[in-house]
Amino acid sequence: MSKPIEFLLENKRVILSVYDQNDGVLKKTWRSLITEKGILPKLDLVMRFNTFKQYLQIIILIDRELNKQNKDELSKLRQTIAKNEEELLSLKAKLEKVKKEMSKLRQNAKSIDGWTVRLTSKGYYNLCKSFNGKVESIYIGKVLDEQKAIQKISEKMSKLK
């Protein structure tokens, strides 16, 4: 047979399960494991009860510490995931807001006498049109006045000819 510690480590899950079922009583656990219909009847051939008792206490301490570390890491991961989900929701909200603004800008896109009306980031209106690969621009102002725009277009066209 194998060495006692190797045997315990190989069967750690089964032994710890029986230990928990027997309310943490070592003697009951030993009896449950080695009885004729027991889970590990060859256990008494590998080690005596005193050896089992000493090694099992160490294995239990190690297992509890590992479980504690795993729970801590899992808790940290859950916090990170929750934080990332919040950031994702925030970014999605911002994206929706930008999409709505873009659709408003597209709806507001106008053309006056073939000139494209543009609203700058500072809130000023300009007219733009391309002539022979060169873009010409006309400043309108803070308010889009179509009559003023038509007048400025005729002035610009007379200068271009």
Are 28 and 75 contained in the same domain? yes
- The length of the chain, given as a count of residues: 161
Q: Percentage of residues in the chain with pLDDT exceeding 90?
A: 16
Last residue of a domain, one of 59, 80, 101: 80
In a domain, 97, yes or no: no
Cα 34-38-39 angle, rounded to 5 deg: 100
In a domain, 14, yes or no: yes
Give the rounded distance of the alpha carbon of 39 from its chain centre. Answer: 43
What are the tens digits of pLDDT across the range 46-89?
Answer: 889 888 889 988 888 888 888 888 888 988 999 999 999 999 99
pTM, two decimals, is 0.46
The number of distinct structural domains making up the chain is: 2
Are 73 and 113 contained in the same domain? no
Sign of torsion, CA 28 33 38 41?
A: negative
What are the tens digits of pLDDT across the range 77-90?
Answer: 999 999 999 999 99
Contact 138, 153 (CB under 8 A): yes
What are the tens digits of pLDDT across the range 118-137?
Answer: 888 888 889 999 888 888 88
Can you tell me the distance from the alpha carbon of 109 to that of 47, in angstroms, rounded to the nearest whole number?
A: 87
The sheet carrying 115-119 orders its strands as 110-112, 115-119, 125-131, 134-141
